[in-house]
């Protein structure tokens, strides 16, 4: 799999651990930064990473900031991205199965590295259920995106 990674300074350590973890598992990783713990603004890295998922340059994205909230908001501004902020491995599985999420958001200050790696593995190891009720809901989300874009 090709995975986009992005973070701000508040989750740099987590991003680096996740990158190493993914590479050891044989995934390709595109690192959008940040590349240090120097203060920076998460939209500068999360937005291009999310765009790379929307345009299918990457299969999935993992975005992080201190809480994961800002990163998830930015990712969900990109048409075609379904990002979930996750703090628990079970929720990671459900969000793939029910919502077919393609971007995962994590909070570096609120989740340990060990738990973050568990979440990543559970999320990447799960797939969309293909159940009709879930497909219908995703179709409705896509129609909302189209309607919102019509307002521009």
Could you give the residue numbers annotated as active site? 65, 98
Judged by phi (left if over 0) then psi (alpha if -120 to 50, else beta), residue 74 lies in alpha
- The closest of 52, 65, 74, 76 to 108, measured between CA atoms, is 65
> Nearest-5° angle of CA 87, CA 89, CA 90?
110
* Beta-bridge partner residues of 36: none
| 59: helix, strand or coil | coil
Torsion angle, CA of 43/48/49/52, rounded to 10 degrees? Answer: 150
Residue position matching structure tokens 């090709």? 2
- The closest of 42, 52, 37 to 3, measured between CA atoms, is 52
Structure tokens at 55: 């345009």
């Amino acid at each position: 799999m090709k995975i986009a990674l992005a973070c701000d300074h508040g989750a740099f350590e987590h991003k680096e651990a996740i990158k190493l973890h993914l590479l050891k598992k044989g995934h390709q990783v595109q690192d959008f930064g940040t590349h240090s713990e120097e203060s920076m603004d998460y939209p500068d890295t999360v937005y291009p990473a999310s765009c790379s998922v929307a345009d299918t340059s990457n299969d999935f994205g993992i975005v992080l900031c201190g809480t994961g909230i800002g990163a998830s908001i930015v990712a969900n501004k990109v048409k075609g991205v379904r990002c979930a902020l996750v703090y628990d491995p079970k929720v990671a599985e459900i969000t793939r199965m029910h919502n077919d999420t393609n971007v995962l958001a994590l909070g570096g200050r609120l989740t340990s590295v060990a738990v973050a790696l568990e979440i990543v593995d559970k999320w990447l190891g799960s797939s969309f259920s293909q159940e009709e009720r879930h497909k219908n809901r995703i179709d409705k989300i896509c129609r909302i995106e189209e309607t919102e874009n019509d307002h521009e």
